[in-house]
Amino acid sequence: MDYEQLGRTGTSVSRIVLGTMNFGDRTSEEDAFAIMDRALELGINFFDTANAYGGASGRGATEEIIGRWLTARPGVRDDLVLATKVHSPMRDRDGGGSVVNARGASAWQVRREAIASLRRLQTDRIDLYQFHHIDRHISWHELWQSMEVLVAGGEVVYTGSSNFAAWNIAQANEIAAQRHFLGLVSEQSLYNLTQRSIELEVIPAAQSYGLGILPWSPLAGGLLSGGSKDAEARSAAEGIRSQREERGAQLDAYESFARERGWTPSALGLAWLLHQPGVTGPIVGPRTVQQLESAVSALDISLSADDLAALDEMFPGPGGQAPEAYAW
């Protein structure tokens, strides 16, 4: 396994990040335990989840599965960098209730959900507590005050963001600096060969402020996984069959490119991300141990300048960084 510093921090994390969104939904608890066990064996020390994950098992179920796994394996916790998120509502509206103040990043919500996540995860700390989305109704002074309390109390070590625009990152970290607080150290963004818009501003901002980029949906929901039955099932389930049809010739060329070099399409998609500036590691969401092992094989792929140029031609990006990408 290869490791990278998490942004500008002193913490080393694996370059493959174990995403757990399927746990409790499309992956049983037994299979989730097997995946996490194998991840440790492979040297993966960075696990990512969210308070709302759980799917069919209900919000919070994924954190609970991880918590039971940690409890069953004494001594493992300190080997991990455990990340979770806050923003989504954790309960539905009912006839007499409201979720107005049970979502987002208000001081009350952040503190409440941090305590709830710690309880479900059965741990004493969250190593990376991430804002799952920008909350435009909350001032950064309120938000940072909440995080300062959590960090001072030892419940949180670092803070990160997800789905932030570049100016959100700049604003957040400038205000954090005014408060003598570390601020954001990572950003989770949608990033893959088919979706490269963060190259315009988010990646340059992240690099400038010392944030590690953690790409989610690195294989575009299955588009870049090749023609396997599993990939086709995922594509159908996630409503992207039309994209597969629209990109048919492009995907055929991509899959041929991979197989001519002895690589699987999915490993190539992850390897491409590992070669991009600012990327700490893609978040993979395996449903089986075999899928996890396939993801780790991306670390063995070294892409030449010609390979990268060919992939750029197949999947053109926005043209580089703004404003040069569209101006001069």
Q: Is residue 320 part of a domain?
A: no
Here the tokens at position 19 are 């995403």
Q: Are 117 and 61 in contact (CB under 8 A)?
A: no
Look at residue 43 in the predicted model and tell me its pLDDT. Answer: 97
- Token digits of residue 325: 């990408």
Phi and psi torsions of 27, nearest 5° = -125, 125
In the three-class reduction of DSSP (H, G, I as helix; E, B as strand; rest coil), residue 290 is classed as helix
Among all chains, which residue has been given the structure tokens 């899959």? 255
Identify whether 155 is part of a domain. Answer: yes
Q: Is residue 270 part of a domain?
A: yes
Distance CA 81, CA 287 (A): 21
Closest among 120, 1, 5, 50 to 285, alpha carbons compared: 50
Using CA atoms, how far apart are residues 85 and 110, in angstroms rounded to an integer?
10
Q: Give the Å distances, CA to CA, from 145 to 39, 40, 85.
A: 35, 35, 17
Which residues are CB-neighbours of 17 under 8 A, at least 6 positions away?
44, 46, 47, 48, 214, 280, 281, 282, 283, 284
Q: Tell me: cis bond preceding 323? Omega within 30 of 0 counts.
A: yes
> Interior CA angle at 153 toward 148 and 158, to 5°?
55
The packing angle between helices 140-152 and 107-121, to 10°, is 40
**Partners of 234 in the β-ladder:** none
Q: How far apart are CA 40 and CA 314, in angstroms?
A: 35
Identify the pLDDT of residue 115. Answer: 94
- What is the domain count for the chain? 1
Asked if 90 and 102 touch (Cβ cutoff 8 Å), the reply is yes
pTM: 0.91
Domain at 198, CATH number: 3.20.20.100
How would you write 215-253 as a 3-class SS string?
Answer: EECCCHHHHHHCCCHHHHHHHHHCCCHHHHHHCHHHHHH
- Strands 12-14, 3-5: pairing is antiparallel
Residues 273 and 192 sit within 8 Å (Cβ to Cβ)? yes
Which domain range does residue 114 map to?
3-314
- The predicted pLDDT at position 109 comes to 84
Let me know the angle formed at the C-alpha of 322 by 319 and 326, rounded to the nearest 5 degrees. 55
- The reply to whether 157 falls in a domain is yes
pLDDT of residue 136: 86
**Residue 1 pLDDT:** 93
**What is the Rg, in whole angstroms, of the alpha carbon atoms belonging to the chain?**
20
Whether 153 is covered by a domain: the verdict is yes
Q: Is residue 322 a part of any domain in this protein? A: no
**Annotated catalytic residue within 3, 53, 129, 158:** 53
pLDDT for res 96: 47
Show pLDDT as tens, one digit a residue, over the chain (328 residues). 999 999 999 999 999 999 999 999 999 999 999 999 999 999 999 999 999 888 888 888 999 999 999 999 999 999 999 999 998 777 765 544 456 666 667 878 889 899 999 999 999 999 999 998 888 888 999 999 999 999 999 999 999 999 999 999 999 999 999 999 999 999 999 999 999 999 999 999 999 999 999 999 999 999 999 865 455 555 455 567 788 888 899 999 999 999 999 999 999 999 999 999 999 999 999 999 999 999 999 999 999 999 999 999 999 999 999 999 999 9
Residue 321 placed within a domain: no
53 is catalytic: yes
**Does 326 reside within a domain?**
no
Alpha helices by DSSP H, listed for the chain, are: 29-41, 61-71, 107-121, 140-152, 166-178, 202-209, 229-237, 241-246, 248-260, 265-274, 289-296, 305-314
What pLDDT does residue 236 have?
Answer: 52
DSSP, residue by residue, 39-96: HHHTT--EEE--TT--GGG-TTHHHHHHHHHHHTSTT-GGG-EEEEEE-S-SS---TT
Question: CA-CA distances (angstroms) from residue 80 to 35, 217, 246?
Answer: 14, 22, 41
